Amino acid sequence: MEHIRTTKVEQVKLLDRFSTNNKSLTGTLYLTATHLLFIDAQQKETWILHHHIASVEKLALTTSGCPLVIQCKNFRIVHFIVPRERDCHDIYNSLLQLSKQAKYEDLYAFSYNPKQNDSERLKGWEVIDLAREYKRMGVPNGKWKLCDANRDYKVCETYPKELYVPKSATPPMIMGSSNFRSKGRLPVLSYCWQGTEAVICRCSQPLSGFSARCLEDEKLLKAISTANSGNNYMYVVDTRPKHRMQSWWDTQKDIGRIIVRISSKIWNDEKIRESDEKKRLNAMANRAAGKGYENEDNYSNIRFQFVGIENIHVMRSSLQKLLEVNGNKGLSVNDFYSGLENSGWLRHIKAVLDAAIFLAKAIVVENASVLVHCSDGWDRTSQVCSLGSLLLDPYYRTMEGFMVLIEKDWISFGHKFSERCGHLDGDPKEVSPVFTQFLECVWHLTEQFPQAFEFNEAFLLQIHEHVHSCQFGNFLGNCQKEREELKLKERTYSLWSFLLDDKQKYLNPLYSSTSETVLEPNTVSFNFKFWRNMYHQFDRTLHPRQSVLNIIMNMNEQNKQLEEDIKDLESKITQCKNGMLTKDLLHAVHPEPPALKTSLCLKEQSLLPVNDTLRAIEGSNPADNRYCDYPEEFSKPEPAVVSLEYGVARMTC
């Protein structure tokens, strides 16, 4: 509250950014400790969680007031016109402070209280059990064992405590490989396909330098390969673009020539221009620093595959270009599609899916194990391993299985959620939409295989919403060690139990548990489309298109509501009949006075449903938004019916 100078501003205008005639709503803007709230003249409410705010921009003063533009991480954009510049400046400064917290304890999850006791909170965290998941995959077994070398996070701080490695792996092999790999992320098991002995393993890049090698790492990779008796080779999939890695390999061949020529230029005090020589010098520096890939001369029975997924900086830039096109209301259809193409976003989505398809085909068609890595093994590696497992295993296409998949390949293996999502005030260059890309890849799969997934689009959108909301503890922190130090299970609540409590809302009516076992998606260009419900989910004035799936879901909801109404009416009819029977018996013994009949009539009327006002809230509820802290400002009577939806809140009273 110390960052809030102005809590209430009246006569604020909320502009419709896609309206051609500058249509706006006038209302009151409230600033609380957790939310920004706008209530218009019709009492419709718009809630924006502070943690959802990606940027705040105060534009130049105009004749109608001071513009304030807020862009959110869930792709909502709001444009306010504040009458007085001083009020706008106060709101602007407050939001800058409240949207970028300095420490985890200031995040919403540590103050959020859904009125559950400690046992209920812990039960919510126990919904997902990774030990049970590995047991479902059939490990430990004769080829793979549970390794406790990392129980104190001494081998790798960003890995989970429990690691599964080949049964023949020895402690020296594990420690040696860890020391040889970036961030200590040695090759370990991610997924075991029960059809054969083929597996998906993951790690980080080797610190191979110019000519360094590690015998322990070579032995560990051989142990992974020999654990699969169905094939005498394994794939090493480097998710980075081949042209970048090829420059490192070329460096080995003509290192002497480059050093001589560059040294000559430096000796003559000449400037090194952007040339092939400088690029190769950079590649040499990278390799000298230990950034590289496995040398096939040192590793027997491995085959290399580069799949060409760009790094976090390219992805961040691509998304920014997409959002610039997305927010331009003056574009024609052709210009929009041209801008979408130039952003490269869908090409990146295709690259990630193609990599996952390669994994699935290697395991199913060639019966070959696969080892996946990128640079540090927590971004592109998580994308490819999780999507590859999703293509192979129908369990991960169920609601519970998808939660398990995220816990296993993203949360436990150290995807840096807090850095990539900008939970705290940190380096903006570390922010990147890696997990958003994963969810979009899954959405494209649901579009191609609508019967293969138990969950619907709303489920994916809700997960994306809460990755950024900081309302639950699942995605806080950058690794399991950090989460244990924060004691998240004792101090915050789990998103998974929250979603399962409202499971019916996220079920796909087209789902068939007997659909395809292994998915084989087609990644030709025309199968990729703009995810409107992700990037335009809050723009209600755009062309109101609705998919067939959404129509079916709405019809199912209406049918369920009608069935409940029928049961309710039948129950009331039965009650009325019983009441009339009782009244007739009483009347036979003691005739009823007229006043009693009137009372009975009123009693029967009370059984009818009350037509209370319906209020739709997206992303919050009154308890979350702290009405109790502002009794003088939020004095409206509470409605009887509250409906929760994903997104930023919009209420109708």
Q: 3-class DSSP state for residue 608?
A: coil
Catalogue the E-assigned strands of 244-300: none
- Angle of helix 594-605 relative to helix 548-589, nearest 10 degrees? 160
Going across the sheet that includes 44-49, the strands are 53-58, 66-72, 77-82, 8-15, 24-31, 35-40, 44-49, 650-652
What is the rounded distance in angstroms from the CA atom of residue 162 to the CA atom of residue 480? 11
Instruction: Classify strands 234-238 and 302-306 as parallel, antiparallel or unpaired.
Output: parallel
Residues making up the annotated binding site are 311-312, 374-380
Residue 549 host element (H or E): helix 548-589
Residue 108's beta-bridge partner residues? none
Query: Quick one: tokens of 370?
Result: 């696969």
Q: Rounded CA gap, 477 and 466, in Å?
A: 14
Alpha helices in 227-294 (DSSP H): 242-253, 255-267, 276-288
- Cβ contact 360:307 at 8 Å: no
Q: Residue 473 corresponds to which amino acid?
A: G
**What are the tokens at 564?**
């409940």
CA distance 550 to 465: 19
| Closest to 112 (Cα-Cα) out of 168, 58, 39, 33 | 33
Burial of 559 per CB tally in 10 Å (0-12, 13-18, 19+)? exposed
> Which residues carry a binding-site annotation for substrate?
311-312, 374-380
- Distance of alpha carbon 25 from alpha carbon 40, whole angstroms: 6
Cα angle 163, 167, 172 (rounded to 5 degrees) comes to 75
Catalytic residue among 374, 421, 441, 470: 374
Is residue 48 within 8 Å of 90, Cβ to Cβ? no
**Whether the Cβ atoms of residue 209 and residue 287 lie closer than 8 Å to each other:** yes
CA 427 centroid distance within chain = 20
- 424: which strand partners? 101
Which 8-state DSSP code applies to residue 127? Answer: T
Strand pairing class (44-49; 35-40): antiparallel
What is the enclosing helix (H) or strand (E) of 419?
A: helix 417-420
Q: For residue 533, count other CB atoms closer than 10 A to its CB.
A: 16
Which amino acid appears at position 614 of this protein? L
Q: How many Cα atoms are found within 13 Å in the side-chain-facing hemisphere of 401? A: 19
**Cα-based distances in Å from 173 to 179, 181, 187, 201, 288:** 10, 12, 11, 16, 24
Asked about 156 being catalytic, the answer comes back as: no
Contacts of 119 by beta carbon, 8 Å cutoff, 6+ apart: none
Rounded Cα distance between 231 and 139, Å, is 19
Catalytic residues: 374
